[in-house]
Amino acid sequence: MAASPKENRAEFERGWAAALLAARHWHEAQAKQAIVLSKRTRFPKNLEREAEVHLRAAERIVTLDPDDV
């Protein structure tokens, strides 16, 4: 029994939202990790820049649309 296209689309959108949320949380965790490491190293600038990149990615990831892929 095949699902209707409308049901498939709704399931796809739920999966898409879950994937974006997981990616956002991952980027936020990487940023926090980089900040912690930057406080423990003698050369923190590279890690601070890495944290900024991850934070920007976490902010922008919610703007992705399935049609962009």
Domain positions in the chain are: 25-69
Chain centroid offset of residue 67 CA:
17
Q: How would residue 66 be classed by pLDDT, with cut points 50, 70 and 90?
A: confident
Summarize the chain as % helix, strand, coil (round to 5).
85, 0, 15
Annotate 16-37 with DSSP letters as a single string.
Answer: HHHHHHHHHHHHHHHHHHHHHH
Q: Nearest-5° angle of CA 45, CA 24, CA 26? A: 65
Segment 1-54, tens digit of pLDDT: 566 777 888 899 999 999 999 999 999 999 999 999 999 998 899 999 999 999
pTM over 0.85: no
- The whole-number pLDDT of residue 19 equals 95
